[in-house]
């Protein structure tokens, strides 16, 4: 899943996981769990995440080497985010003998992204997100599934969102050409309603629901 902050990568990765059984691996969620647990990685990641910068490649690549293993497929959400991470992923997948199926690019409108993130509510335990405008929980501030409290992410403050968008343009957008050149890129219009985007991704992947 490749796209700017707020484009809906996590929303769609979770739907694909529920409907088709492939495991969602979100680097953002993993890093937030490390922060919660106060691990050394979590402590080091915090200073970058809070100012909207990327966590250094060496830390991310080491973390992902521990997360990826063979077996059934997985959906990468928020990784890779730099060309160095993409090169490392190629090596990891080769070792696992698990080829990349596709890279889904979330094509997005900037103003709408900022609006989406300012009305996003997140379950800090599962990473599941809601949106006060487009996808509200049944009870405001409460997760439909576990009944626990929803929060607003500190890096969803407008100034930090602008920084994250600039970082995306500078460090992550070069991956669009990288994956187009390698023949993996498939684009979706991420500004359409959630279910329409999901249907388009399923169509692109030729996905069938899990038995």
**One residue of 74, 75, 116, 178 binding ligand AP5 per CB under 6 A:** 116
* Piece in contact with ligand AP5 (CB under 6 A), picked from 25-33, 35-43, 90-98, 203-211: 25-33
Binding mask 158-177 for ligand AP5 (x = CB under 6 A): ------x-------------
Exposure of 82 in the CB half-sphere (CA atoms within 13 A): 15
**One residue of 15, 24, 25, 28 binding ligand AP5 per CB under 6 A:** 28
Within 184-203, the residues that bind ligand AP5 by CB under 6 A are 193-194, 197
* Piece in contact with ligand AP5 (CB under 6 A), picked from 67-75, 123-131, 137-145, 201-209: 123-131
Active site residue 33: no
Report whether 164 contacts 5 (CB < 8 A). yes
* Piece in contact with ligand AP5 (CB under 6 A), picked from 96-104, 130-138, 176-184, 199-207: 130-138
Q: Which residues are catalytic?
A: 9, 81, 120, 153, 164
Site residues (vs ligand AP5, CB under 6 A)? 3, 5-11, 27-28, 31, 48-49, 52-55, 60, 78-79, 81, 85, 116, 120, 129-131, 134-135, 155, 164, 193-194, 197
């Amino acid at each position: 899943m490749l796209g700017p902050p707020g484009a809906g990568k996590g929303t769609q990765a979770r739907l694909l996981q529920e409907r088709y059984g492939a495991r969602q691996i979100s680097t953002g969620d993993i890093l937030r769990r490390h922060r919660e647990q106060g691990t050394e990685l979590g402590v080091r990641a915090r200073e970058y995440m809070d100012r909207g910068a990327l966590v250094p490649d060496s830390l991310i690549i080491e973390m992902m080497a521990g997360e990826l293993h063979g077996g059934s497929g997985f959906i990468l959400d928020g990784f890779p985010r730099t060309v160095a991470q993409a090169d490392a992923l190629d090596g990891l997948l080769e070792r696992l003998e698990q080829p990349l199926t596709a890279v889904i690019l979330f094509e997005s409108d900037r103003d709408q992204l900022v609006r989406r993130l300012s009305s996003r509510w997140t379950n800090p335990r599962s990473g599941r997100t809601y949106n006060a405008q487009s996808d509200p929980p049944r009870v405001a501030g409460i997760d439909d599934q576990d009944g626990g409290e929803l929060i607003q992410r500190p890096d969803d403050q407008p100034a930090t969102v602008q920084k994250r968008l600039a970082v995306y343009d500078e460090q992550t957008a070069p991956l669009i050409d990288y994956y187009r050149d390698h023949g993996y890129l498939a684009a979706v219009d991420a500004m359409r309603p959630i279910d329409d985007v999901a249907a388009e991704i399923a169509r692109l992947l030729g996905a069938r629901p899990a038995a």
